[in-house]
Amino acid sequence: MNVVTWWKSRAPQLLSILRIMAGLLFIPIGSMILFAWPMGMPPNNSTAPLLSQTGIGGLLEFVGGILLVLGLFTRPVAFILSGMMAVAYFQFHAPQGFWPMMNQGAPAILFCFIYLYLSSAGAGPWSLDALRGKG
């Protein structure tokens, strides 16, 4: 087996790693909004009201991040998070300018498309979805 064949054979495991890392990055974003941990929301280290748009977004980020790390209900969770990130980009970043690196929207775009991919590709082999036969 050559290196290219071996590396291609690792795609399912790397899908799981991508899902886990994307989820791990989302959990503290949600916990910042909901619990002011590991820090509060700028500029005054506060939290958002739970039933506000920001609070609902924080809830989706926190719970969705946990579900993605576990690989549970990955396809629908990732689809919802993809849409949420598209809304975040167009509502908060795009009005500040066209270029994502100038409007600080690059992370929102990247998360949007990673989650869109996960909604199609599924959780990968290292997931509760795979254990449930829904991977």
56-75: per-residue pLDDT in tens? 999 999 999 999 999 999 99
Q: Do 42 and 29 touch, CB atoms closer than 8 A?
A: no
The proportion of the chain whose per-residue pLDDT surpasses 90, expressed as a percent, equals 96
- At 56, the amino acid letter reads I
Residue 14, domain member (yes or no): yes
pTM: predicted TM-score of the whole model, two decimal places? 0.94
Cα gap 122→11, rounded to integer Å: 12
Residue 134, domain member (yes or no): no
Residue 121, domain member (yes or no): yes
Q: Do 60 and 30 touch, CB atoms closer than 8 A?
A: yes
71-124 pLDDT per residue, tens: 999 999 999 999 999 999 999 999 999 999 999 999 999 999 999 999 999 999
> Where in the sequence is the domain holding 54, given as residue range(s)?
3-128
Predicted local confidence at residue 7, as pLDDT: 94
Cα gap 74→70, rounded to integer Å: 9
Is 135's pLDDT higher than 80? no
Residue 135, domain member (yes or no): no
Name residue, tokens 């598209």. Answer: 86
* Summary mean pLDDT of the chain: 96
Predicted local confidence at residue 114, as pLDDT: 98
The proportion of the chain whose per-residue pLDDT surpasses 70, expressed as a percent, equals 99
- Write out the two tokens for 8: 């291609």
pLDDT category at 134 given cuts 50, 70, 90 is confident
Question: For residue 41, what is the DSSP state?
Answer: B
Structural domains in the chain (count): 1
Predicted local confidence at residue 33, as pLDDT: 97
